[in-house]
Amino acid sequence: MSEGVEWALHSCVNLAWSGPDRAVPAARLAAWHDLPAAYLNKQLQALARAGIVTSAPGPRGGFRLARPLAEISLMDVVAAVEGPEEAFRCTEIRQQGPGGAGRGADGGPDRTGHRAAADAPACAIAHAMGRAELAWRTALAAQDLDEVRRQAERQAPGAPERLRAWLAAP
């Protein structure tokens, strides 16, 4: 998972702390954590395409949350930044090499010229990885960003006010 996911998650919480009426420019959000503005802007644009944030152009523009944090799951943010593809992609390497299924005794193609049997069972490794990915995605979908915000505020009670004061400064 890219660091862009972490940046996007923090940005969502920071936008919640900044207040519902404040649009925050990507450069300002990036400066709060000393991040490259152009790269953070790319993550924020992905969040905008996913309907997690909205963006307003112009000198008073920036980003706002499109919906409450309680309606945004961690999986929503991961999918927005990383895309919907599965993390593990089975390329069927078990079908390659001298031990590959569907090969003749000499390691070459079988009598029909095919490398793999059409009725070969699903790859056990792909199956195990798929189960793990489903569990991971389910866990992320079950956690919303408001839960994360509340935990962050318990750990750093003054963080929301420090951010608001910093954003208000010239």
CB 12 within 8 A of CB 77: yes
Whether residue 5 is predicted with pLDDT greater than 80 in this model: the reply is yes
Is 50 exceeded by the pLDDT of residue 115?
A: no
Judged against a pLDDT cut of 50, whether residue 16 lies above it is answered with: yes
Residue whose structure tokens are 């010229």: 113
Distance CA 153, CA 164 (A): 14
CATH of 1-72+145-170, one of 3.40.640.10, 1.10.260.40, 1.10.10.10, 3.40.50.300: 1.10.10.10
pTM, full prediction: 0.82
| pLDDT for position 1 | 86
Domain boundaries defined on the chain: 1-72+145-170, 73-143
Lowest mean pLDDT among 8-12, 121-125, 156-160: 121-125
Q: Quick one: pLDDT band at residue 44, thresholds 50, 70, 90?
A: very high
The DSSP code for 53 is E
Specify the amino acid at residue 25: P
